[in-house]
Structures are given as C-alpha cells and as structure tokens.
C-alpha cells in the first residue's frame, strides 16, 4: 500500500530491484516544456545522464541551448498547435524507427486571477495539450511494447489553493485524464503515471495581479507578500525531483500516483485519510483572516483610521477620526 500511494521513502525500494526495463537498450524519452529553469529541463538532463535517448521540446529552441550542448536532441513543439505536435512526431519517428518508450507531458502554464481568455488558454496547454500529445504519439508508444506516459500533475489539483482556481482545475482534469488513460492503454502495456507534484524549485511562479473589480483588491499588497512564490519557499530542488521521477519512470512497475515535492506528503494524508472537505476547513481561518483585512480596508476608505491592526490574532480595533 505504501508503494501504491507513494509515502516518500517508506517503501523506498528496500531492495532496488527491477529498476530498469532493459539495462542494455537505450529508451527513447520525449519531454515537453523543457525551457531552462523548469522541471522539464531538469528531467531531460537526468534521463540523459542515465544513458537514455532524450528528445527535449519547447516552443522556443533558444530556451534549450544548454540541453543541446549536452548532446540532447531538441525539437520545437507547441502543444496547443496540432501541426507542431505532428511535425515533432514525424521527426522523432524517423530518428527512432517509429518507437517511443516514455512520454512526459510537462508543458504547463500558470496564471492567477485571469480573465476567461487566459483561463481557456491555460486549459489548452495543461489539459488539451496533454490529450493531443497522447493521441499523436500513442502508436509510437505501442510499438515500444512497454511504454510510459507521465503527466506532471500538481497537488494544486487536490489542495484548494486560493487565487489559483483555473490552474487547480486544469490539474484536477489532468489527474482524471491520467486515471482514464491508465485503463484505456493497459491492453497495450502502456503504463500511465500521474506525478502529484508539490513545491519544486522552478520558474513557474508568476506575479499576482488582481483585476480592478476583484473583491480582494483592498489587500492586494498583502497578497503579493504572502501568496506569490509561496510554493518556492521550502521547495524541493529541481535536480532532486528529476532524479526521483526518472527512477520511478524507469522502474518495471512505476506507481500510478507518485507524490513528490514539498507538502505532497501532507496533501496525500489529507486526501487519503480525511474527509474531502478537510482541506477546506483548514483554510476557513485563512478566509476569515482575509475577510477581516478587506473589512478593515473598507472602513479605512470610509473615513476610519486604524489605531491597531493585529492581524496575527485576527483582532481589529478601529477608532473614528475626530
């Protein structure tokens, strides 16, 4: 059970058995979203260091110069454009003899407090891009005889992280996609791995900008201080994450759900053993805290002044100006 649900190293390969599928044959690995500074970039380097044949992709070839210098094959690929996916597929097929062993869908987009167009674009990258990649590369994976599809999911798809609803939703959809593909691809001996990723050092974190009509506009500066980059504070180093993911995907029996990264074990405990609204209950105090901040900001605008604002203890004392 511990192995199935991924309790860190509780089941940490007490015996490092069957770690590789076939140690004498190079596997072909295709990774999306390999721009410098991210998870895909680190995964490409790690698979390459293990002697595998890696195809790193990104929308801009310039962002993968380091990988190319290491001898990794780089391809231009935009997961939101089917023509780009098919072009990469055809090039890879020629170079590998029509075979792909491991597909890692890592291309992601993260936007907070976005408008609807941005939200739709996020789903295009995070969800529909992953679907399109599987559809276009499935024949090559079948030819492998023992393929892998890995989706870089996120604990954000389970943990109700405020101000990231669209991103959270896209990752929850990726989790559902992985579960369904696992059933559909099982007859072809393709194993699907959902990577429940917690905090990992990367360049994904972006500044938080609230729209003019946001309910939280009065406390925007506080949110900027407390919310932006929170996943990076105690994040797992990207290289460490890449090593463990690579080992998992090269294992003869990789876990269906692999929890890894800062706060992932805590999220696993909540999701596995507690009621589904437990995380919401945990955030109730935070919601109350924000409500009081908004109220105090509103009263200040209405002509009150603050004598004392003890946000730590959620005490707000206001005195009417004389």
Q: How far apart are CA 171 and CA 301, in angstroms?
A: 38
Task: Name the token pair of 67.
Answer: 């990988």
- Per-residue pLDDT tens for 94-110? 999 999 999 999 987 76
DSSP state of 268: H
pLDDT at 115: 73
pTM of the entire structure?
A: 0.76
Average per-residue pLDDT for the chain:
80
Mean pLDDT of 254-278: 86
Q: Where exactly are the structural domains of the chain?
A: 2-276, 283-320
Strands 257-260 and 304-310, sheet pairing: unpaired
- Residue 23's beta-bridge partner residues? none
DSSP state of 128: I
Cβ contact 130:105 at 8 Å: yes
Q: Which helix (H) or strand (E) holds 168?
A: helix 165-185
Q: Which residue in the list 45, 167, 216, 241 is annotated as catalytic?
A: 167
Provide, rounded to the nearest whole percent, the portion of the chain with pLDDT above 90.
52
3-state secondary structure of 84: helix
Distance in angstroms between the alpha carbons of the first and the last residue of the chain:
66
pLDDT at 4: 43
Cβ contact 218:291 at 8 Å: no
Q: Which residue in the list 99, 171, 191, 241 is annotated as catalytic?
A: 171
pLDDT at 154: 93
The CATH code of the domain at 2-276 is 3.40.50.720
pLDDT at 3: 43
Q: How far apart are CA 38 and CA 258, in angstroms?
A: 19
Provide, rounded to the nearest whole percent, the portion of the chain with pLDDT above 70.
66
If one compares 274 and 298, the residue with the highest pLDDT of the two is 274
- Per-residue pLDDT tens for 57-71? 999 999 999 999 999
Q: How far apart are CA 290 and CA 39, in angstroms?
A: 32
Residue 91 annotated as catalytic:
no
Burial of 229 (0-12, 13-18, 19+ CB in 10 A): middle
Residue 304 annotated as catalytic:
no
């Amino acid at each position: 059970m511990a192995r199935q649900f991924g309790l860190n190293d509780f089941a940490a390969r007490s015996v490092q058995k069957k770690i590789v599928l076939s140690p004498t044959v190079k596997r072909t690995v295709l990774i999306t979203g390999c721009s410098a500074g991210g998870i895909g970039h680190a995964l490409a380097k790690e698979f390459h260091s293990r002697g595998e044949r890696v195809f790193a992709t990104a929308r801009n070839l310039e962002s993968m110069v380091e990988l190319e210098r290491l001898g990794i094959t780089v391809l231009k690929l935009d997961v939101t454009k089917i023509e780009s996916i098919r072009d990469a597929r055809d090039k890879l097929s020629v170079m590998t003899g029509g075979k792909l062993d491991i597909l890692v869908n890592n291309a992601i987009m993260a936007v907070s407090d976005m408008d609807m167009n941005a939200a739709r674009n996020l789903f295009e990258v995070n969800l529909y891009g992953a679907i399109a990649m599987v559809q276009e590369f499935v024949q090559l994976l079948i030819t492998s005889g023992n393929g892998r599809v890995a989706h870089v999911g996120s604990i954000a798809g389970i943990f109700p992280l405020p101000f990231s609803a669209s991103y959270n939703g896209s990752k929850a959809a990726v989790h559902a996609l992985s579960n369904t593909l696992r059933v559909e691809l099982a007859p072809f001996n393709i194993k699907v791995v959902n990577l429940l990723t917690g905090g990992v050092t990367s360049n994904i974190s972006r500044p938080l900008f609230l729209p003019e009509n946001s309910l939280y506009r009065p406390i925007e500066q506080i949110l900027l201080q407390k919310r932006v980059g929170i996943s990076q504070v105690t994040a797992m180093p990207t290289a460490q994450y890449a090593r463990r993911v690579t080992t998992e995907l090269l294992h003869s029996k990789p876990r269906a759900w692999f929890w890894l990264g800062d706060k992932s074990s805590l999220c696993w405990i909540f999701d596995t053993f507690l009621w589904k609204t437990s995380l919401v209950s945990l955030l109730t105090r935070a919601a109350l805290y924000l409500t009081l901040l908004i109220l105090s900001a509103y009263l200040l605008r209405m002509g009150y002044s603050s004598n004392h604002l003890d946000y730590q203890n959620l005490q707000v004392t206001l005195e009417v100006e004389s």
